[in-house]
Amino acid sequence: MPNTQDPTPMKPFIAGNWKMHKTAGEAVAFAQALAGELNAAQDRDIVIAPPFTALHAVSRSLAGSGIKVAAQNLHWEREGAYTGEISAAMAVEAGCSYAIIGHSERRKLFGEKDEEINRKLKSVLASGLGPIFCIGENLEDRDAGRTLAVLGSQLRKGLDSLTRRDIMETVIAYEPVWAIGTGRAATPGQAQEAHAFIRQTLGKMFDAPPAGIPVIYGGSVSPGNIRSLMEQPDINGVLVGGASLDVDSFVRIVNFDK
């Protein structure tokens, strides 16, 4: 189902997920170089997600640049005896505007389940941050023809009892697990099929076609493949890992159509 409900095209939403890369010093130097290159890029949303230790310094160094900062993960409680965790309120104070929730590395390496992800999404939304909610099938699911069933289940469990207003603040990232860090991106056709399904499912869940919700693609996005992905009607942006760690490569991705 193409995104025919919205006659005005959405601003491209381009986010870089740095994972466990860059010290605070390296991150600030990178952010300043990026801000210099991307001055006044008002026609797209640009977000970077440094490690926790760099959030505060990076948000300060990006003040006035229009580039926003995201946390890569958060706990659902505001505070408490949760050694090693960070809350949404802390991320807000550190200058974040978004939080990535449910990334496949969190699900796979740290055992995050849909129910925890749902709690995290609610906490992020209550704190005023915008969640970037990641879903995606693994290779076994795809080979068995279960891709859309898996996406449907992750959406229903992850977004359980969210309101229509909540969903309008949310960015959905479709990240097929087999495409992350492998150099093997989904084809534009595979990604479009998943994105159209996600949009259709959101429409059913929230009782209207939510054409205004960005659905972005992640998994081996590069300066070489971004354009063909962004040409798809239901792909509104990208979540970039490896290729966001280099200023030149990330700038080329942000400026994919210029």
Catalytic residue set:
103, 175
- Residue 128 CB, nearest approach to ligand PGA (Å): 23
- Residue 245 CB, nearest approach to ligand PGA (Å): 9
Query: Rounded to an integer, what distance in angstroms lies between the CA atom of residue 59 and that of residue 65?
Result: 10
**DSSP one-letter code for 108:** H
Amino acid occupying residue 235:
I
Could you give the 3-state DSSP secondary structure of residue 70? strand
Q: Token pair of 114, please?
A: 């849909």
Q: Which is nearer to ligand PGA, 173 or 202 (CB)?
A: 173
Helix H, strand E, coil C: the string for 132-177 is EEEECCCHHHHHCCCHHHHHHHHHHHHCCCCCHHHHHCCEEEECCH
Q: Which is nearer to ligand PGA, 68 or 206 (CB)?
A: 68
- Residue 83 CB, nearest approach to ligand PGA (Å): 26
Segment (H or E) for 17: strand 13-17
Query: Rounded to an integer, what distance in angstroms lies between the CA atom of residue 225 and that of residue 211?
Result: 24
The residues binding ligand PGA (CB under 6 A) are 17, 175, 180-181, 218-221, 239-243
Residue nearest to ligand PGA (CB): 241
Q: Which is nearer to ligand PGA, 150 or 186 (CB)?
A: 186
Q: Which is nearer to ligand PGA, 105 or 206 (CB)?
A: 105
- Residue 142 CB, nearest approach to ligand PGA (Å): 16
Residue of 248, 243, 209, 258 whose CA lies nearest to 15: 243
